[in-house]
């Protein structure tokens, strides 16, 4: 290897480059002739001492992956080359442009004047408008969208400044976080972005290790059958982190993103299977335990990924699928693997519930198409029921329709005796909610309060 002076294409910036064994420059993007990330960072280091104000823009292109997948690398390369030309033509010649990722460019511009948001928008808008125009390759039209992250360093003799290389990272972060939008798809880094990204990063690490170490807890909430008082339980996962209980709506999406939903669900099933015997001692007439099943689990392979280990666990703990209800949220039913999954569950003997029915994309069609035993009427429905007559009418029609289809209705989120009376009157099969009990840990179960509530309601009916 020998050192050499490297001339960056079309511009007059020079910096050290290296030849590799086949006499190729290392660190140079072969398609565009621009510096790649490494050489760009090296170049920035050489500018570190300049007494100037610096603006860094990280420009991400979307849709180019689709172009690559559909039309192949030759078309993709043409689009990228054209994007490079458009970016460079939007900027004065002294601005340095680099290709720092497959579909990502970065520019650094130095100014004598103070850089404010308006100055950033002026440059970013120019680039964005050029990229917004259609691309033509071999007579076909293509459109790409651009996202621009910005970070700035206004020079100050006496203040400590982040290195310019760090600024590249910060402008990347601004695009990733998509916060602090100063213009359409132009995001300016501020320190809160880093803090929130760091928090998320820490949270993800902690969650991953707690799922893997099976540290999540399971709480149970009773479901009370209104005709015979028989109790079932819904298992609800809980995560204790940093001295707080993090609600499932905040951490389950992260678990899904980390691809740990299978591990989490099996942990919940295992815990429920272990707790089953103890619950039976506390509540001898216990009917079943519900498990929430995320759609991610049956999206691709008809749910084999979860059903196989689930059956093994139930065998191991001597439970029958008849004692387990699988609660499925309804807003994903369009996918073809759902049908096969639900049929398999039904054939295996699981009780099947459609969860959160009554809001969002609920469709009566699902009730006919899929083999559900139970319909869980969404709590939003229940809490507005007392004051909204129309809602009551809709709820009543759902109950009647379900009855005709041989599907039993469970009302969720029942908090008041008044709601309970309305629901009983309608012919709802069972209720669940704070009125009877909040979700509880097995060893914190307060049967006294629960029995009192239950007895006082059933004495009246």
Binding site for ligand C2E (CB under 6 A): 221, 236-237, 247-249, 252, 265, 268, 292, 294, 327, 355-356, 379, 412-415, 432-434, 439
Min dist CB 453 to ligand C2E, Å, is 12
CB closer to ligand C2E out of 54 and 296 = 296
Count of residues making up the chain: 461
Q: Using the rule CB under 5 A, is 292 a contact of Ca ion?
A: yes
Residue carrying the six token digits 């910060």: 170
Q: Using the rule CB under 5 A, is 210 a contact of Ca ion?
A: no
Q: Which residues contact 22 (CB under 8 A, 6 or more apart)?
A: none
Min dist CB 13 to ligand C2E, Å, is 53
Q: Using the rule CB under 5 A, is 327 a contact of Ca ion?
A: yes
Interface region with Ca ion, contact rule CB under 5 A, candidates 37-45, 61-69, 214-222, 326-334: 326-334
Q: Are 232 and 287 in contact (CB under 8 A)?
A: yes
Among Ca ion, ligand C2E, none, residue 172 binds (CB under 5-8 Å by kind)? none
Site residue total, Ca ion (CB under 5 A)? 5
Question: Other CB atoms closer than 10 Å to residue 367's CB: what's the count?
Answer: 20
CB closer to ligand C2E out of 88 and 293 = 293
Q: Using the rule CB under 5 A, is 355 a contact of Ca ion?
A: yes
**Secondary structure letter of residue 202 according to DSSP:** H
CB closer to ligand C2E out of 277 and 438 = 438
Q: Are 244 and 297 in contact (CB under 8 A)?
A: no
Question: Other CB atoms closer than 10 Å to residue 373's CB: what's the count?
Answer: 15
Residue carrying the six token digits 């480059």: 17
Question: Other CB atoms closer than 10 Å to residue 327's CB: what's the count?
Answer: 19
Q: Are 159 and 123 in contact (CB under 8 A)?
A: no
In this structure, what is the dihedral angle of CA atoms 44, 48, 51, 55, given to the nearest 10 degrees?
40
Min dist CB 312 to ligand C2E, Å, is 18
Among Ca ion, ligand C2E, none, residue 434 binds (CB under 5-8 Å by kind)? ligand C2E
Min dist CB 438 to ligand C2E, Å, is 7
CB closer to Ca ion out of 36 and 329 = 329
Q: Are 439 and 221 in contact (CB under 8 A)?
A: yes
What residues line the site for Ca ion (CB under 5 A)?
292, 327, 355-356, 412
């Amino acid at each position: 290897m020998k050192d050499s002076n490297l001339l960056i294409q079309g511009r007059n910036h020079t910096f050290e480059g290296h030849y590799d064994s086949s006499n190729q420059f290392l660190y140079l993007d072969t398609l565009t002739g621009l510096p790649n990330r490494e050489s760009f960072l090296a170049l920035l280091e050489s500018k570190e001492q300049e007494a100037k104000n610096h603006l860094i823009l990280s420009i991400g292109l979307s849709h180019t992956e689709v172009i690559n997948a559909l039309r192949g690398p030759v078309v993709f390369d043409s689009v990228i080359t054209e994007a490079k030309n458009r970016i460079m033509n939007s900027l004065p010649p002294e601005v340095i442009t680099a290709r720092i990722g497959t579909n990502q460019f970065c520019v650094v511009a130095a100014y004598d004047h103070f850089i404010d948001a308006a100055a950033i928008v002026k440059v970013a808008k120019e680039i964005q408008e050029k990229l917004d125009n259609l691309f033509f390759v071999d007579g076909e039209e293509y459109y790409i969208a651009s996202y621009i992250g910005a970070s700035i360093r206004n020079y100050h003799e006496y203040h400590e400044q982040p290195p310019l290389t760090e600024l590249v990272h910060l402008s990347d972060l601004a695009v990733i976080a998509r916060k602090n939008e100063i213009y359409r798809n132009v995001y300016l880094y501020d320190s809160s972005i880093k803090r929130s990204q760091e928090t998320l990063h820490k949270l993800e690490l902690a969650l991953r290790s707690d799922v893997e170490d099976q540290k999540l807890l399971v709480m149970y909430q009773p479901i009370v059958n209104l005709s015979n008082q028989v109790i079932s339980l819904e298992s609800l996962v809980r995560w204790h982190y940093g001295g707080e209980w993090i609600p499932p709506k905040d951490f389950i999406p992260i678990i899904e993103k980390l691809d740990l939903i299978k591990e989490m669900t099996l942990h919940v099933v295992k815990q429920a299977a272990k707790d089953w015997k103890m619950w039976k001692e506390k509540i001898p007439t216990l009917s079943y335990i519900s498990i929430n099943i995320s759609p991610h689990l049956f999206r691709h392979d008809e749910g084999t990924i979860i059903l196989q280990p689930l059956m093994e666990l139930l065998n191991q703990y001597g439970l029958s699928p008849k004692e387990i209800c699988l609660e499925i949220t309804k807003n994903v039913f369009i996918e073809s693997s759902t049908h096969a999954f639900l049929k398999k569950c039904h054939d295996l003997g699981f009780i099947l519930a459609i969860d959160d029915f009554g809001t969002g994309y609920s469709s009566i069609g699902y009730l006919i198409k899929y083999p559900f035993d139970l319909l869980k009427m969404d709590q939003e429905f229940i809490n507005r029921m007392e004051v909204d007559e129309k809602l009551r009418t809709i709820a009543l029609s759902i109950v009647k329709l379900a009855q005709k289809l041989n599907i039993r209705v469970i009302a969720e989120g029942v908090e008041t005796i008044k709601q309970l009376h309305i629901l009983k009157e309608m012919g709802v099969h069972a209720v669940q909610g704070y009125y009877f009990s909040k979700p509880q840990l097995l060893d914190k179960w307060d049967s006294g309060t629960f029995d009192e509530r239950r007895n006082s309601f059933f004495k009246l009916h």
